[in-house]
Structure 1
Amino acid sequence: MIRHAGWSLAVLWPLLAGSVQADDQLVRPTIKANRWQEDWSVLKDPALRTQPLDNLKYIPLSAANPYTYLSLGATLRERFEMNDASGFGVRDVPRDRYLIQRFQVHADLHLNEHWRLFTQLEDVRAYDKTTIGGADQNRVDLRLAFAEYVKTFNAGTFKARAGRQDFAFDLQRFISSRDGPNVRQSFDALWADWETQQWRFIGIASQPVQYQDGRHFDDKSNSDARFHMLRVERLVGGTNELSAYYGVYERSAAHYLDADGEETRQLLDARLGGAAQGFDWDVEAMLQRGSLGSKTIRAWAGGSRTGYTFD
């Protein structure tokens, strides 16, 4: 999304989440942009339930197993934007002022140490916006709903998720949860990964959710769009992160200004991030090839972020 000669003001309130504080032995979880990544099982210790609404963050469901519990939460994001000369001088477009709002509620049900069910509903609206696009508004719909299984072995940890979920990698240059616009991107996907102290292997088969705003609960995914990926991560030289992935994106009956037909793109990406002696870096490169109808796709991209921190 491009904004020209404009500005925005955003306020994010994670509701019912509690604050972050340290304990001598345990640390309360931090609030995350992806609410499904939070783990409130530490509140099984009554001594840590010190903040308002902690009784909603950890609702015990079994006296025999403290890892069987329900956690509730909500997030409200309000953002006011004003765009001036959004037509870039080519078209006479009046100044546009509007409020965009994202309201989400979620329930995180932990059946035991291994199984959980996570569900998140959302109501996303754009008030007084002149032109509403697909990423601006999605009124009363299902955003996330997945089952997750986690099992730790001596050699590593296995994780699997099935259902509607979201994911993003690295600095989100090429695979992003799309948090900037009002409507985030979700996927109906199967996810599996194996993690050790040094390695992580990830496999994903997914269909991007197609957002619609004609009525409530009308979002869907179908086989017209598919994204699959195999990814490997490795810690090198201590804490430096080296990662690479191979991805395939396919779309049926794709339409562009100069091409139509079946679209297939193959992506190869590599990234190195780390820090040493005050310097920090994140370097990433991507190659892409494929076809669109009778035409050939060739593309590449790269990005880097480096810095130095003074003592």
Structure 2
Amino acid sequence: MAVRVRMEQALTRTVAAAALLAALGPAGAALAEDAATRPAIRTNRWQEDWSALANPALRTAAFDPIKYIPLRPGAPQSYVSFGMTLRERFESLDAASFGIGGTRPDSHLLQRLQIHADAHLDAHWQLFVQLEDDRAFGKAAITAVDQDPLDLRLAFLAYVNATEHGTFKARVGRQDFDFDLQRFVSSRDGPNVRQSFDAIWGDWETGPWRFIGFVSQPVQYNLLHPFDDMSNGRVLFHTFRVERQVLGSNELSSYYSYYQRDNARFLDAGGTEQRHVLDIRFAGKLAGFDWDLEAMGQAGSVGSKQI
């Protein structure tokens, strides 16, 4: 039989040191404050908005002074924020191959450390940089999703402009994104190493409609040396997506994606891999029930063989 024990603890605590500009948000007594007036820690740290701390009455946690550093007097939306995330996960695997192949027990610790700086230049512009160090202590077989020494995970410039006609958003640089339940487009938070993309992203929201498009090169990870991750034109991933709210707040969406990889190798095919993906999804909730109906089709080729 196989037994898998996984103990995971996500730690988000404030740390301040002279050598590291690191901070974390609310802790202790601050947790009791109204979440509607005080920002909350999010999985994607670049989505946090600490401008509420322009109000001195809300600066109650120990390291709030470096969660909100104003850039210009009288401009609460112009500030810099520093943060850190530490995730520790212990795994113990016994008979992972169900007794076949003589697999030995494997107990190990997976550690993810992230440090970021988030600069909001005004109500429209944001510059975000995040470093990440991922380690797999004691793991028998280490892969690219288990370990990645200190490297640049995110570094992008974002622009947002909200008008009476709609909201336009754009991001340029190394970033992450995900769709829906993350079955196809995912930030890959489950494994130790998250997935990043060097990309240009844009979307337009107006009324019940939202239009999203991006062109990207997925980051390829190297687990031996610091700052050796890179993207290149040998792997491409592009998407155009349309969303609409229907029957209240329920969502109907569809997207087309193009994936290309040079020198792909499979057991029965090799060469340039090209995939065309069409996805349709209807999701919502009603009377205590929620649903997610999704259909996807793929076509394309690997070398001379059709997908």
Coarse TM-score class (shorter-chain normalised): over 0.9
What is the TM-score of this pair, normalised by structure 2?
0.92
Q: Which amino acid aligns with 1:210?
A: Q
CA–CA distance in 2 between the matches of 1:126 and 1:91? 23
CA distance in structure 2 between the aligned counterparts of 1:209 and 1:132, rounded to whole angstroms: 18
Instruction: Report the equivalent of 2:4.
Output: 6
Instruction: Find out whether 1:132 has 2:130 as its counterpart.
Output: no
1:103-133: CA deviation from partner (whole Å, max 9, x where unpaired)? 0010001111111100000110000101001
Rounded to whole Å, the distance in 2 between the matches of 1:51 and 1:197 is: 38
Q: Which amino acid aligns with 1:58?
A: Y
Q: Which SS does the other structure have where 1:36 is aligned?
A: helix
On the 8 A contact 1:207/1:222 being kept in 2, the answer is yes
In the alignment, is the contact (CA less than 8 A) between 2:25 and 2:61 conserved in 1? no
Corresponding residue for residue 297 of structure 2: 287
Q: Which amino acid aligns with 2:121?
A: L
Q: Please give the residue correspondences for 1:165-204 in structure 2 after superposition, counting only pairs within 5 Å.
A: 165-204=175-214
AA aligned to 2:26 is G
SS of the residue 2:12 aligns to: strand
The CA distance in 1 between the partners of 2:77 and 2:32, in whole Å, is 21
Q: Counterpart in 1 of 2:278? A: 268
The structure 2 residue matched to 1:79, chosen from 76, 81, 89, is 89
Partner of 2:252: 242
Query: Per-residue CA shift, 1:10-63, capped at 9, x if unaligned?
Result: 000112121555549x52122111111111111111111122211121111111
Task: Quote the offset at 1:88 in angstroms.
Answer: 3.3
Q: Spell out, residue by residue over 1:60-116, the C-alpha distance to the aligned partner (whole angstroms, 9 max, x if none).
A: 111132211001111000000011112333311110000010000100011111111
For the residue of structure 2 that corresponds to 1:174, the secondary structure is coil
Preserved contact between residue 110 and residue 116 of structure 1 (Cα < 8 Å) = yes
CA distance in 2, matches of 1:88, 1:289: 35
Moved more, 62-71 or 184-193: 62-71
* Structure showing greater relative contact order (alpha-carbon pairs closer than 8 Å, 6 or more residues apart): 2
How far did residue 176 of structure 1 move?
Answer: 1.1
Q: Distance in 1 between matches of 2:25 and 2:234?
A: 38
Match of 1:222 in 2: 232
1:113 aligned counterpart, secondary structure? coil
Question: Do residues 53 (structure 1) and 63 (structure 2) align?
Answer: yes
Distance, in Å, in 2 between the alignment partners of 1:32 and 1:21 is 17
Distance 2:34 2:58 in 1: 8
1:96–1:130 contact (8 Å) kept in structure 2 = yes
Partner of 1:120: helix, strand, or coil? strand
Contiguous gaps of at least 5 residues in structure 1: 298-311
| TM-fit CA distance, 1:223 | 0.4
- What's the counterpart of residue 17 of structure 1? 25
Match of 1:37 among 33, 47, 55: 47
Contact 1:21 1:27 in 2 (8 A): no
Counterpart CA distance in 1 for 2:104 and 2:265 is 30
> Is the contact made by 1:17 and 1:57 (CA closer than 8 Å) also made in structure 2?
yes
Following superposition, the deviation at residue 214 of structure 1 comes to 2.4
Q: Which shows bigger deviation, 276-285 or 196-205?
A: 276-285
TM-score by length of 1: 0.91
Task: Percent identity, please.
Answer: 57
SS at structure 2 position matched to 1:43: helix
Amino acid at match of 2:134: V
Residue 132 of structure 2 is matched in structure 1 by: 122
| SS at structure 2 position matched to 1:63 | coil
Q: Tell whether 2:159 aligns with 1:154.
A: no
Q: Which amino acid aligns with 2:126?
A: R
Q: How many residues align?
A: 293
Name the SS for the 2:52 alignment partner. Answer: helix
**Cα distance in 2 for residues equivalent to 1:192 and 1:90:** 49
